[in-house]
Chains A and B, each alone.
Chain A
Amino acid sequence: MSFALDEDLTLLKDTADGFFSERAPVSAFRAMRDAGATFDEGLAGEIAALGLTAALLPEAAGGSGMGFRAVGLALEAEGRTLAVSPLLQTGMIGAGALKLFGTPDQQAHYGAGLADGSIRFALAIDEGPRHDPRRCETVLVNGAVTGTKMFVQDGGSATHLLVAARDAGADVLAVVPADASGVSRTARTTVDHRDCADVIFDVAVAEAILPLGDDGLEGLLDVARAGVAAQMLGVMGGAFDMTNDYLKTRTQFGQLIGSFQGLQHRAAAMLVEMELTRSCVIAALLALDSGKDAREAVSIAKARAGDTLQLVTNETIQFHGGIGMTDAHDSGFYIKRARVLEALYGNAAFHRDRYARLNGY
């Protein structure tokens, strides 16, 4: 598979870039934050109407049969403007779970809801503050889920929760309607001001069960991780472009600060890291599309995206100086979102450890 974009992907990228920059710029996120909101139903509906949330599913199920690489382009566009959107949890993870583990009936049932925006998913996986998929005390018994999931992204606005659970020792993904009896959700206020909730399941009846087999949970998590990495590319791109613009407008000592070599070299070094990381993220998405073992490629992408994004968002504040420390400036939005994405589904250290184990050391 080629790294270059073909005609279809170029069109998708242009559409997504245009949509998010016009309809959901960073100023829109700021307005939401200021209003105390964490979800915009109108925006979510428009994204569904664009076909992005169901894109991974086959046409027969209301989708367009696109690949992970394609959705990754939309996620990057969304990350760039820090848009609050259901693309990661619903378009990548939810539709990805259905694509990989759903029956044609399940795909058709949920696909229709994804396409018209009436269904939004949220992955409920971790049971503590650090990502640890081996830790799972949530069980499925007689078709009902019992357990506690923490830090569920989009957990407050989702219509359906995708719950990782143990069913007599086997991994399953249980689809539980958020309004089912036995589901209670408690919102958290996180540093990035996104929708995040803890969810308690007390004999909550699942609407559908997706068996994951031996490696399925990791396979699903790798879809999630690659999606996060694609979003991180957008976040770093947005922060970097804002910073590079500042280098070309801010004057000190009678000079544009971008003419100082001390800053030029640091900016150029960031670009080198971003280019290298971009190749890794694309490779991870292509590996998922190939259907072959994508574990190593995904861990490289998530680890490098984490390190690069940390570098870029820290430098974004430093390059802006005092203004970058103010709430009125967007630097803070980028670094806050960056750290949540870094912690989500395994930080860089987690993925370096995983890579080393996969390679026998």
Chain B
Amino acid sequence: MSDLDAFRAETRAWLEANCPASMRTPMPDREVVWGGRNPHFSNPDSKVWLEAMASRGWTAPLWPKAYGGGGLSNAQNAVLQDELKRIKARPAILSFGIWMFGPVILEYGTEEQKLTYLPDMVHGRTWWCQGYSEPGAGSDLAGLQTRAVDDGDAFIVNGQKVWTSYANHADWMLCLVRTNPDAPKHEGISVLLFDMKTPGVEVRPIKLISGASPFCETFLTDVRVPKPQMLGTLNKGWDVAKRILQYERTNISASGFGGGAGLELVAAAKEQIGLVDGVLADRDLRSRITRQKMYERAFNLSMKRAADEAKAGGEVSHYASVLKIAAAKLNQDKTELMVEALGMDGLGWEGDGYDAGALKATRDWLRAKANSIEGGTSEVNLNIVAKRVLGLRDHQ
């Protein structure tokens, strides 16, 4: 038996013994685990499952063991993911820390920062948020104005962040600040890490057109951040920021904007509209649903292709923007078609007159409008493809 086969056998046995039965069922939205200082487990098995996975470092399987990670090789991780998929295991935790911030702390952090922040991410003890956008700095992120002024052993931060996902739940923020207002805009930015309980941090949720409030405004008033909490080099924060965006786009694409288990488009259309001679009675909708289904398949195949090519050592960095653009279109088209197929049932807001699936379809459709804005607009990603992949240059 090869080492990898042995690892597979051992992993399978461990998962069999440690993954609770209810963690092998589809996850309703209310049972999603985000962790944090005040974690919420509406299903007690979720806690058992998180603790088991974290004890092996398998919530961050590729990170070094010294920082709480699993210390697995790429090949071992592929086996682990295979085995998790085989038993339909739920993700033990959803974590911006593990997806985006941990990897850059590993790359840019000091030894002390790695030891301080990474194990808490692995165990789901901290919930991180991303202090990026500002009222005046959306697509033009590098135009951010939040100031950090040197005050001896600390920075004093003043400014406002917006669209901070789940800042109202988060324990820590990774925050982009301007440390040199006189330098060109990309060269005066630094990255600070701070506790959301630090005096001067105030968070207000923003209500969206879908009725939900996944994003917040974050006001920073004389927030004192000790200097050892700066990540990377002073005024070189834009490099870190860009790297995080790559991780963010890849993860948004990989998770397909979530959405969770809802109605399936073809089934819903058949039920609402019916078949004539085996063919959906609305021929126009049928054709557009088919284009969407093919687009979805094309996207999923491309995710697999990017993974295969990365594994084979190919250059795949350009896929991040390509797939982000495609993921947004995919989800927007899908949710539009669902609302169309459901007719007036797809336009209910709340109440007993609508079933849960239809209400979710309405909210998903509205939520999806953000998909081409968040994590870099589709237009910004088209700029990136034009410049980095096609080699087209800026207007002179």
Chain A interfacial positions (CB closer than 8 Å to B): 2-5, 244, 247-248, 255-256, 258-261, 264-265, 267-269, 271-272, 275-280, 282-283, 300, 303-304, 307, 349, 352-353, 355-357, 359-361
Determine the residue in chain A with the shortest Cβ distance to B314.
A4
The total number of A-B Cβ pairs within 8 Å is 126
Determine, out of B112-120, B196-204, B290-298, the stretch whose residues face the partner at the interface: B290-298
Is there a chain A Cβ closer than 8 Å to B279's Cβ? yes
Q: Do A256 and B393 touch (CB < 8 A)?
A: yes
Is there a chain A Cβ closer than 8 Å to B308's Cβ? yes
How distant is the Cα of A256 from the Cα of B326 in the complex, in angstroms?
Answer: 28
Q: Do B383 and A264 touch (CB < 8 A)?
A: yes
Is there a chain A Cβ closer than 8 Å to B137's Cβ? no
Q: Which of B376-394 contact A (CB under 8 A)?
A: 379, 382-383, 385-387, 389-394
How distant is the Cα of A4 from the Cα of B393 in the complex, in angstroms?
Answer: 30
Q: Which of B355-396 contact A (CB under 8 A)?
A: 379, 382-383, 385-387, 389-396
Q: Do B322 and A272 touch (CB < 8 A)?
A: yes
Q: Do A280 and B393 touch (CB < 8 A)?
A: no
Q: List 18 A-B contacts (CB under 8 A).
A: A258-B393, A259-B395, A261-B386, A264-B387, A267-B392, A268-B382, A268-B385, A275-B322, A276-B326, A304-B298, A353-B290, A356-B286, A356-B289, A359-B293, A360-B266, A361-B275, A361-B280, A361-B289
* Chain B residues within an 8 Å CB radius of A268: 382-383, 385-386, 389-390
How distant is the Cα of A5 from the Cα of B270 in the complex, in angstroms?
Answer: 40
Q: Do B278 and A357 touch (CB < 8 A)?
A: yes
Determine, out of B60-68, B123-131, B299-307, the stretch whose residues face the partner at the interface: B299-307
How many residues of chain B have a CB within 8 Å of chain A? 45
Nearest CB in chain B: distance from A303 CB, A: 6
Q: A4-B309, A304-B294, A352-B291 are in contact. Are A276 and B278 (CB under 8 A)?
A: no
Nearest CB in chain A: distance from B306 CB, A: 9
Residue in A260, A271, A278, A355 with the greatest tally of chain B CB atoms within 10 Å = A271
Q: Which of B290-336 contact A (CB under 8 A)?
A: 290-291, 293-295, 297-299, 301-302, 304-305, 308-309, 311-312, 314, 319, 322, 325-326
**A361 touches which of B266, B294, B319 (Cβ 8 Å):** B266
Residue in B289, B389, B392 with the greatest tally of chain A CB atoms within 10 Å = B392
Q: A259-B395, A276-B302 are in contact. Are A244 and B297 (CB under 8 A)?
A: no
The 3 closest A-B pairs by CB, nearest first: A4-B312, A264-B386, A268-B385
Is there a chain A Cβ closer than 8 Å to B33's Cβ? no
* Chain A residues within an 8 Å CB radius of B383: 261, 264-265, 268
Known interface pairs A2-B312, A256-B393; 19 further A-B residue pairs with C-beta atoms within 8 A, sorted by A's residue number: A3-B304, A4-B309, A5-B312, A258-B393, A261-B386, A265-B383, A267-B386, A268-B385, A268-B390, A269-B325, A275-B319, A276-B299, A282-B301, A304-B294, A356-B289, A357-B278, A359-B293, A360-B270, A361-B279
Which applies to chain B's interface (DSSP): helix, strand, loop or mixed? helix
Q: Do B326 and A272 touch (CB < 8 A)?
A: yes
Q: Do B309 and A3 touch (CB < 8 A)?
A: yes
Q: A259-B393, A271-B322, A272-B322 are in contact. Are A2 and B308 (CB under 8 A)?
A: yes
Is there a chain A Cβ closer than 8 Å to B22's Cβ? no
Nearest CB in chain B: distance from A14 CB, A: 15
Nearest CB in chain B: distance from A286 CB, A: 10
* Chain A residues within an 8 Å CB radius of B43: none
* Chain B residues within an 8 Å CB radius of A258: 390, 392-393
* Chain A residues within an 8 Å CB radius of B312: 2, 4-5
Nearest CB in chain A: distance from B286 CB, A: 6
Nearest CB in chain A: distance from B44 CB, A: 40
* Chain A residues within an 8 Å CB radius of B319: 275
Q: Do A271 and B308 touch (CB < 8 A)?
A: no
Is there a chain A Cβ closer than 8 Å to B74's Cβ? no
Residue in B294, B304, B382, B385 with the greatest tally of chain A CB atoms within 10 Å = B294
How distant is the Cα of A4 from the Cα of B312 in the complex, in angstroms?
Answer: 7
Determine the residue in chain A with the shortest Cβ distance to B278.
A357
Q: Do B393 and A279 touch (CB < 8 A)?
A: no
Q: Do A271 and B295 touch (CB < 8 A)?
A: no
Q: Do A280 and B297 touch (CB < 8 A)?
A: yes
* Chain A residues within an 8 Å CB radius of B325: 269, 272
Determine the residue in chain A with the shortest Cβ distance to B309.
A4
Q: Do B392 and A265 touch (CB < 8 A)?
A: no
**B290 touches which of A267, A271, A277, A352 (Cβ 8 Å):** A352
Determine the residue in chain A with the shortest Cβ distance to B392.
A258
Is there a chain A Cβ closer than 8 Å to B42's Cβ? no
How distant is the Cα of A260 from the Cα of B395 in the complex, in angstroms?
Answer: 7
**A3 touches which of B278, B297, B308, B387 (Cβ 8 Å):** B308
* Chain B residues within an 8 Å CB radius of A5: 312
How distant is the Cα of A129 from the Cα of B66 in the complex, in angstroms?
Answer: 68
* Chain B residues within an 8 Å CB radius of A356: 279-280, 286, 289-290
* Chain A residues within an 8 Å CB radius of B297: 280, 300
Nearest CB in chain B: distance from A267 CB, A: 6
**B308 touches which of A4, A261, A264, A359 (Cβ 8 Å):** A4
Q: Do A247 and B392 touch (CB < 8 A)?
A: yes
Determine the residue in chain A with the shortest Cβ distance to B387.
A264
Q: Do A352 and B389 touch (CB < 8 A)?
A: no
How distant is the Cα of A248 from the Cα of B391 in the complex, in angstroms?
Answer: 8
Nearest CB in chain A: distance from B134 CB, A: 23
**B392 touches which of A248, A276, A277, A307 (Cβ 8 Å):** A248
Nearest CB in chain B: distance from A33 CB, A: 30
How distant is the Cα of A307 from the Cα of B391 in the complex, in angstroms?
Answer: 25
Residue in B291, B302, B308, B393 with the greatest tally of chain A CB atoms within 10 Å = B302
Is there a chain A Cβ closer than 8 Å to B269's Cβ? yes
Is there a chain A Cβ closer than 8 Å to B287's Cβ? yes
Q: Do B396 and A272 touch (CB < 8 A)?
A: no
How distant is the Cα of A278 from the Cα of B299 in the complex, in angstroms?
Answer: 11
